[in-house]
Amino acid sequence: MTLEADILAAFPAEVRIPAGLVADAVAASSAETPRMLVVLDDDPTGTQSVADLPVLTRWEVEDFVWAFGQAKPAVYVLTNTRSLDPAEAAARNDEVVRNALAAAGSADASAGSGLRLGFVSRSDSTLRGHYPLEPDVIAATVEAVTGESTDGVVIVPAFPDAGRVTIGGVHYMRGTGEDAGKLTPVAETEFAKDASFGFANSEMAKYVEEKSKGRFAAESVIVLDLNIIRAGAVSEGTAENPDGDPAISAAISAKAIADAIGPATNSTPIVADIVTENDLRALSLGLEEAERRGKKLLYRVGPPFGRARIGQEIRTELSGAEAYAGNTPSEAGGLIVVGSHVGVTTRQLKALTAQHSAARIVEIDVEKLLSDAADAHLDQTVDTVVEALHVGDVIVHTSRLLIKTDSPAESLRIARTVSAAVVAVVNRTLKTFPPRFVIAKGGITSSDVAAHGLEIRHAIVRGPMLPGIVSLWEPVDGPAKGIPYIVFAGNVGDDQSLADVTRKLSNTF
C-alpha cells in the first residue's frame, strides 16, 4: 500500500468545475441534432451514479423508441454480458447497437428520429469484464451500419465514490477503516483473481496490452494523466486566468485533453487519471471538445462517467419516503436477495443478519442446486420465503461456500445455475405474494432478478440509496410495477451499507 496524498503531491490541484458547465456544453452540441448516449451496461450496477434516466432490460427497436421518447441525455441498456461467454457477449453487443441505430434513424420512430447516438461500454471499476471485446464489437458494428470509424476508445474505470481512483496511469483501490488514505494497486486485490476475468497489471497501459494480447502495445496507449486533466489549475492566478475563473480553467483543461487525444486513430486506447468528480467533469469537457473537432470516440468506463459526461449533478441519497414516492408501500415484508461472494458482501450480510433480528434468513444451498435435489430444494425455498414475507422481511442468500474450478466456462456455468435458482425464487414469490421492496446484492444477481425475476422491461432509475452508490429503479411496467427495486453491486459500500439500505425501506427493522 501507498499513501494517496504522497502520490497526489506530484500533480496539480483539481479544477473546480460546476456540473452546469458540462451540461451547457452538451446542450450546445445537441442544439441542431439531439444526442443521446446509449450505455451498454454489462451488469445493472452502472446506474448507481445517475438519476432520472430510462433503463431497458430488453433492446428491441420498440424498446429504444420508448427510451428515446423520454427525451433524456442517456439510456442504460442492461446487457448483463459479464455473465456471458465471449461469443454470446459479442453477439449481444452487436444486436444492441444495431437496434439502437435502427430506432434512432427509423422514419417510423418519430420519438427517435434524427437522434445522434454515442455509445458507452459500461463495465467494472475493478477491471473485470470483456475487454477489449466489447468496445471492439461496438466500433465494428457502428462502422458496418453507418460507415463511421472509431478514432479512440476512452478507458475510465475510476469510481471515486466507491474508492476506485486512477493516478499516474495506475488504477488503485482506496483503503477503508484503519487503512483509510492508503491505496492498493487493483491487481493486488481479490478482484484481480476473478475466475473469469482475472488480470495481472494495475498500470492501465499495461492492462490494455495484457488484455489485448499485445494488439495494443503499452507505449501506444494515450495516457491523460492529472497534469493534462488538471491543466487549467496551473493557470489560476496567472495573467491567463488572474481571478481563477472556473470557466477559464475548465476551457484550458478541455483544450489540453482534446489536444492529447488528437493523434488517436483506429480505436487507439486512451486512459484517463481520475480522482474526483471535478476530474470527471474536466475530462467530459475535453471529450466534448475533441468530438467537436471531429474525433469519433467510444467509452469503456466505470459507473460515474455517465453522470459527469452528461453534466448531471450528484443526486443526494434517497430517503425511505422518496423511495416509495408515488406508490403505496405494501404491508408485506421486503425481500433481500444476496448472490455475490466477494468479501465485502459477506461482511455486509453478516452485519445485516446480526442487526435485523426480525428478518427470516433463508439459504439457497449451491451444492443442492448442482445435484438431483435441485427442484425439491427450490420448491421448499419458495414456500419458506412466501410464508415468512407475511410477517416480515426475508433475507435469501446463496451458501457462502464458493465452488471454484480452473475453467472459466465452468465457473460461468455454475454462476448461471445459481442465478437461475435465485431468479426462480424471486419470480415465483412475486407471483404468489409480492414483497414490499426487493434488494438484489451482486451484479449478475441484480441483472437476472430485474429482467427475469421481476420481469422488468422498462424502468426509471430514480437515484442512489447511499451517497454515489446503490441505485433505486422504479419499474414502469410488468408485475413488479410500483415495487422499489434496489440494485446493489457486490463490491461497494462498507460493512454497514446493506443494513443501512434495508433499514430505510423496511417496516419491521
In the predicted structure, residue 269 carries a pLDDT above the cut 90: yes
Q: What is the largest CA-CA distance in the chain?
A: 77
Q: Is 303 helix (H, G, I), strand (E, B) or coil?
A: coil
CB 359 within 8 A of CB 509: yes
Average pLDDT value for residue range 173-182: 90
What angle do helix axes 133-146 and 86-105 make, rounded to 10 degrees? 30
Average pLDDT value for residue range 403-428: 81
What pLDDT shows up at residue 404?
66
State how beta strands 116-122 and 35-41 pair. Answer: parallel
What pLDDT shows up at residue 294?
96
| Closest to 79 measured CA to CA, from 40, 137, 23, 112 | 40
What pLDDT shows up at residue 110?
44
Report the CATH fold assignment for 2-309: Rossmann fold (3.40.50)
Average pLDDT value for residue range 72-91: 94
- Give the chain's length: 509
Average pLDDT value for residue range 427-448: 93
Which range has highest mean pLDDT (35-49, 127-141, 169-183)?
127-141
CB 139 within 8 A of CB 504: no
**Distance, CA of 326 to CA of 476 (rounded, Å):** 12
pLDDT class of 325 with cuts at 50, 70, 90: very high
In the predicted structure, residue 366 carries a pLDDT above the cut 90: no
Please name the residues in contact with 462: beta carbons below 8 A apart, sequence gap of 6 or more. 51, 52, 318, 322, 323, 471, 472, 473, 474
Percent of the chain with pLDDT over 70: 97
| Closest to 334 measured CA to CA, from 316, 354, 358 | 358
Q: Which residue has the higher pLDDT, 246 or 402?
A: 246
Between the alpha carbon of residue 325 and those of residues 70, 212, 261, 300, 397, the distances in Å are: 20, 46, 44, 34, 28
pLDDT in tens, 287-297: 999 999 999 99
CB 188 within 8 A of CB 202: yes
**Distance, CA of 479 to CA of 435 (rounded, Å):** 11
pLDDT in tens, 474-500: 999 999 999 999 999 888 899 999 999
Between the alpha carbon of residue 418 and those of residues 15, 59, 423, the distances in Å are: 46, 25, 9
Tell me whether domains 2-309 and 322-505 share a fold.
Answer: no
CA atoms within 13 A on the CB side of 237: 3
Sign of the four-CA dihedral 234, 239, 243, 247 = negative
- Mean predicted lDDT score pLDDT of the chain: 93
Determine phi and psi for 134, rounding to 5 degrees: -65, -50
**Distance, CA of 10 to CA of 13 (rounded, Å):** 10
**Distance, CA of 149 to CA of 337 (rounded, Å):** 42
In the predicted structure, residue 109 carries a pLDDT above the cut 80: no
Distance separating the N- and C-terminal Cα atoms of the chain: 38
pLDDT in tens, 1-41: 789 999 999 999 999 999 999 999 999 999 888 899 999 99
Domain boundaries, the chain: 2-309, 322-505
What is the DSSP track for 222-272?
Answer: EEE-HHHHTHHHHHBTSTTBTT--HHHHHHHHHHHHHHHHTT--SSEEEEE
pLDDT class of 106 with cuts at 50, 70, 90: low
What pLDDT shows up at residue 183?
96
What pLDDT shows up at residue 348?
95
Cα 286–185–214 angle (5° rounding)? 70
Report the CATH fold assignment for 322-505: Molybdenum Cofactor Biosythetic Enzyme; Chain A (3.40.980)
Which residue has 496511469 as its cell numbers? 169
What pLDDT shows up at residue 400?
61
pLDDT class of 419 with cuts at 50, 70, 90: confident
Question: Which residues on adjacent β-strands are paired with residue 477?
Answer: none
pLDDT class of 342 with cuts at 50, 70, 90: confident
**Distance, CA of 364 to CA of 366 (rounded, Å):** 6
pLDDT in tens, 347-365: 999 999 999 999 999 999 8
What pLDDT shows up at residue 254?
97
Percent of the chain with pLDDT over 90: 78
| Closest to 417 measured CA to CA, from 365, 370, 364, 363 | 370
Helix, strand and coil in the chain, % to nearest 5: 45, 20, 35
**Distance, CA of 326 to CA of 472 (rounded, Å):** 14
Q: What is the DSSP letter of 274?
A: B
pTM: 0.90
